[in-house]
DNA sequence: GCGACAG
DNA sequence: ATCTTGTCGC
């Protein structure tokens, strides 16, 4: 897949000020409503499906994107899946020009991700990106930045909350399938306080008391609503905390990392 | 000045 | 994210 909005390609040489200005522009362009060809119910694990009319329908292409690092190099891996099966894998290695700065992650990792996406022969119907989407100070997290730049539906899947107010405390975890709404707070300067910007999602939980799994933080990246973003994550999770496409991309990045000079 | 902060 | 063995718990 290709860049559709060249002006949004993350440029690490920009000043912090310019980066933030670009993010506000990206947020205005982003669509936090459903505009995708994926039905979460058919996104899970049985590859070929059948429609009500008996027509053969192929499951949507759901891709996972994740990065690994080796010194000043970022390795971005993309794994495209369809009904749980791997359709294609691609990865790219790019130098990181700036350090990790909360709120500006896309300017550090975005370039490598776009490079990996451009090597894909199949265009995913939706991308699960590691990190935040709309749950961001200017509603332009990594998932949103990437989604808007290539104009593909994206979902942000993070392990920690960047900002925003959970409807209930997230400590201790919840039963599997639980979703706790996260609302915009003062830290999210571009949204009206109270706006539903994402969910804490419990994709997995231990049976007994003592130990517990923390929920994932899911938010819309682009062309996906908060509800659908969570539906997709729950539908593609298969017994583990991370959704399958993300887990696959995770280890693909680690493998690729091994072969980096 | 203090706090808060994805990967 | 990354550096890393054992260890606690199911």
Q: Supply the pLDDT for residue A161.
A: 97
Total domain count, chain A: 1
What pLDDT is attached to residue A253? Answer: 97
Q: Is A85 inside a domain boundary?
A: yes
Can you give the pLDDT at residue A123? 98
Q: Is residue A189 part of a domain?
A: yes
Is the CB of residue A137 less than 8 Å from the CB of residue A187?
A: yes
pLDDT for the residue numbered A193: 94
Give the residue nearest to nucleotide B5 (CA to C1').
A102
Tokens 């759901």 map to which residue?
A: A62
Q: Which nucleotides of C are covered by protein (CB under 7 A)?
A: 1-2, 9-10
The CATH number linked to A218 is 3.30.2170.10
Q: Which SS3 state, helix, strand or coil, does residue A16 take? A: helix
What is residue A210's predicted lDDT score, i.e. its pLDDT?
A: 81
pLDDT of residue A62: 98
Whether A75 maps to a domain, the answer reads: yes
Pairing of strands A216-222, A154-158: antiparallel
Q: Any atom of strand B under 7 A from CB of A16?
A: no
Is the Cβ atom of A219 within 7 Å of strand B at any atom? no
Query: What local confidence, expressed as pLDDT, does residue A187 receive?
Result: 95
DSSP reduced 3-state for A52: coil
Q: Is the CB of A141 under 7 A from strand B?
A: yes
Neighbour count for residue A204 (Cβ, 10 Å): 18
A32-58: burial string, b at 16+ Cβ within 10 Å, e else: beeebebbbeebbeeeebeeeeeeeee
β-bridge partners, A58: A48
Residue A211 CA distance to nucleotide C7 C1' (Å): 14
Q: DSSP letter string over A92-152?
A: EEEE--S---TT-THHHHHHHHHHHHHT-SS--SEEEEES-SSSSTTS--HHHHHHHHHT-
Regions in chain A scoring below 50 on pLDDT: 50-51, 54
pLDDT in the model for residue A46: 58
Residues of the domain holding A127: 6-48+57-258
The answer to the question of residue A140 being in a domain is: yes
Note the pLDDT of residue A124: 98
- Whether CB of A26 is under 7 Å from strand B: the answer is no
Could you tell me if residue A1 is inside a domain? no
Cβ count near A261 (within 10 Å):
5
């Amino acid at each position: 897949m290709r860049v559709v909005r060249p002006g949004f390609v993350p440029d690490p040489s920009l000043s912090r000020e310019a980066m933030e200005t670009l993010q506000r522009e990206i947020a205005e362009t982003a669509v936090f409503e459903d505009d995708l060809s994926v039905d979460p119910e058919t996104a899970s694990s049985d590859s070929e499906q059948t429609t009500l009319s008996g027509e053969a329908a192929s499951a949507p292409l759901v891709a996972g994107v994740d990065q690994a690092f080796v010194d000043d190099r970022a390795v971005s891996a993309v794994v495209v899946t369809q009904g749980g099966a791997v359709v294609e894998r691609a990865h790219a290695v790019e130098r990181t020009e700036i350090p990790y700065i909360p709120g500006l992650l896309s300017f550090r990792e975005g370039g490598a991700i776009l490079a990996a996406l451009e090597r894909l022969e199949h265009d995913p119907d939706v991308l699960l990106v590691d990190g935040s989407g709309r749950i961001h100070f200017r509603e332009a997290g990594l998932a949103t930045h990437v989604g808007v730049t290539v104009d593909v539906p994206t979902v942000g899947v993070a392990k920690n909350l960047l900002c925003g107010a959970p409807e209930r405390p997230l400590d201790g975890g919840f039963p599997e399938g639980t979703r706790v709404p996260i609302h915009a707070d003062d830290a999210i300067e571009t949204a009206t306080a109270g706006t539903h910007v994402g969910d804490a999602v419990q994709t997995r939980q231990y049976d007994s008391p003592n130990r517990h799994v923390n929920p994932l933080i899911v938010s819309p990246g682009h062309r996906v609503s908060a509800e659908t973003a969570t539906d997709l994550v729950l539908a593609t999770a298969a017994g583990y905390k991370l959704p399958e496409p993300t887990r696959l991309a995770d280890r693909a990045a680690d493998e690729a990392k091994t072969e980096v000079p």
